[in-house]
Amino acid sequence: MKGELPAVNCPGGWRRTMNDSNFDTTALYRNGILVLLLLSVALIVHNIFGQNGYLASRHQQKELQTLQQQILQLQQENEQLDKENRALKSNPAAIERLAREQMHLAKPGEKIYTLPDKAPADPPPPTGKETSPQP
């Protein structure tokens, strides 16, 4: 009895000695691998679909590109308006062109003819005077 290890009572009435720890080691190893695998899957899902994940990052990059394009467009428009503003302050021909186009002003003796912008795309609806033949 000097070399024997103490017995341990287990659930279900089984008695195991400390020599049966090989079973516990493999189960522990298997469960540890399973926990690490589940943890890895959870981290991968979080990195893809999380608040700061890959998909959110792609969405923010697209939004950033859209905003940069809008900034560029507004800067170009601002430069054009600034150029037009400087021309109106210093160039009498630009002032005259603007007065003729927007305010429909004319020099003495000139006549202004205004044409409609576009012809109506749809034909007018029938007036009801025309009747289709009845069988």
Among 30, 14, 13, CA closest to 22: 30
pLDDT of residue 94: 85
Residue with the larger pLDDT of the pair 16 and 99? 99
User: Is 124 within the bounds of a domain?
Assistant: no
Q: What would the pLDDT profile of 82-107 be if each residue is shown by its tens digit?
A: 999 998 899 888 888 888 888 878 88
Q: How far apart are CA 78 and CA 50, in angstroms?
A: 39
Q: What is the mean pLDDT of residues 127-131?
A: 61
* C-beta separation of 17 from 9 below 8 A: no
Q: Count Cα atoms within 13 angstroms, Cβ side, for 64.
A: 6
Q: How far is CA 65 from the centre of its chain?
A: 10
> What is the structure's pLDDT at 7?
53
Q: How far apart are CA 43 and CA 127, in angstroms?
A: 71
* pLDDT of 124 over the 80 cut: no
Compute the distance between CA of residue 1 and CA of residue 77 in angstroms, rounded to an integer: 97
pLDDT of residue 77 exceeding 80: yes
113 inside domain: no
Q: Are residues 11 and 42 in the same domain?
A: yes
In-domain check, residue 33: yes
Cα–Cα distance for residue pair 120/122, rounded to 1 Å = 6
Q: Which domain holds residue 40?
A: 7-49
User: pLDDT-derived band of residue 35, with 50, 70 and 90 as boundaries?
Assistant: very high
**For the chain, what is the domain count?**
2
* 64 and 87, same domain (yes or no): yes
